[in-house]
């Protein structure tokens, strides 16, 4: 019989509490594990795509420079590309720039030089040199001594330049790979799965 003035109290039995705690622990564990796994997965995916974007950037850089290049050479170990490009813009240290500072930063009008192999288009008396090289996990682009890190987590750049003299054609094929951070099993297979290939043709063929 309910006593007058008695509060309506209720509670859990011990078994209910233990079951609830166990269930809660399981749910919390699953949540934490899932969160951690999701976070790791996210990091891996983010890293993969970020590095893939770096691959695309390297390809775009190389393609741009090879297209406007006069001479492209690849090192024997296939780890370095050297591109000679015209000096299209007058620099402050160029003779024209020193003689007339107002010309600094403006495009050059090319001059024509007749050579035994035909007329040659020159933008100024000198050319610029661009070198693509690897430094640890980074790929560097060095133009006239100025270094730019164009990729920070791609560790393999394998360029190959082919000169087809009969067709007066030269092109550079490049493959770029990186090692994903969630690698497991065969590292070689993981790396090869990230390969991006590109081919760029020289628009200015200048021999010698």
Partner 1 sequence: MKCKISSSERANVLICALCTILVISLIGANVLQNCTTRFNVASSQVRSWKESLFAAETGGDIGYSEIRKTVLDPANAFSGWSASGSVHTSPVTTLPGNNLVTSSVVDLFYYDPITGNPWYRARSRGTAPVNGLRRTGMDDRMGAGSRGDSLLRKIDFNTDHFIATYGPNGDGVGKAIIPVAAPQITRRIEQISAPVTPFEAAIKCTGSFYGLGSAAQVDSYNSKNGPYYFCANNPADSHFKDSRSGSVEIGTPVANVNGMLYGNISTNGGTVVPSQYVTGTIDNNVPFTVPPYAMPTNMPPAQPFPTTVTATESITPPAPGTAANPTYYLLSSLSGKLTINPVGSAQTYVAIHVTNDLTATITVKNGVHAKIFFDGNMDVKGRDMDNESGLAANLQYYAISPPDPATPQFIHIAPPGNFAATFYAPSADVVLNGNPDLTGAIVCKTFYGNGNTSWHYDRALDTEGDAVDYRIVSYVEDIR
The contact set with partner 1 (CB under 8 A) reads 8, 10-11, 24, 27, 31, 34-35, 38-39, 42, 45-46, 49-50, 53-54, 56-57, 60-61, 64, 67-68, 86, 88-89, 102, 105-107, 109-110, 112, 114, 118-119, 121, 123, 138, 148-152, 203-204
Q: What is the DSSP string of the chain?
A: -PPTT--------HHHHHHHHHHHHHHHHHHHHHHHHHHHHHHHHHHHHHHHHHHHHHHHHHHHHHHT-SEEEE-TTS--EEEEEE--BPPTTSHHHHH-GGGTTSBPPPEEEEETTEEEEESSS-EEEEEEEEETTEEEEEETTEEEEEESS--EEEEEEEEETTTTEEEEEEEEE---TT--S-HHHHHHTT-EEEEEE-SS----
CB of residue 168 to partner 1, shortest distance in Å: 11
> Which is closer to partner 1, CB of 74 or CB of 130?
130
Q: Which is nearer to partner 1, 124 or 159 (CB)?
A: 124
Whichever of 106 and 144 has its CB closer to partner 1, that residue is: 106
Q: How far is the CB of 95 from partner 1 (least distance, A)?
A: 18
Give the nearer residue to partner 1 in terms of CB position, either 78 or 96.
96
């Amino acid at each position: 019989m309910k006593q007058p003035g008695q509060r309506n109290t209720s509670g859990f039995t011990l078994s209910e509490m233990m079951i609830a705690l166990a269930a809660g622990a399981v749910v919390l564990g699953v949540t934490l594990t899932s969160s951690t796994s999701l976070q790791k997965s996210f990091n891996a995916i983010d890293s993969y795509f970020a590095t893939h974007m770096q691959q695309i950037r390297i390809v775009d850089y190389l393609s741009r420079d090879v297209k406007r290049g006069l001479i492209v050479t690849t090192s024997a170990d296939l780890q370095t590309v050297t591109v000679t490009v015209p000096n299209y813009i007058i620099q402050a240290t160029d003779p024209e720039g020193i003689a007339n500072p107002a010309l600094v930063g403006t495009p050059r009008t090319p001059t024509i030089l007749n050579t035994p192999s035909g007329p040659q288009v020159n933008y100024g008396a000198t050319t610029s040199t661009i070198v693509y090289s690897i430094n640890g996990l980074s790929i560097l682009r060095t133009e006239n001594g100025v270094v730019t890190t164009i990729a920070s987590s791609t560790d393999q750049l394998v360029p190959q330049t082919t000169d087809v003299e009969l067709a007066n054609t030269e092109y550079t094929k490049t493959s770029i790979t990186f090692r994903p951070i969630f690698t497991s099993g065969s590292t070689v297979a993981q790396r090869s799965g990230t390969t991006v290939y590109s081919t760029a043709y020289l628009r200015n063929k200048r021999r010698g």
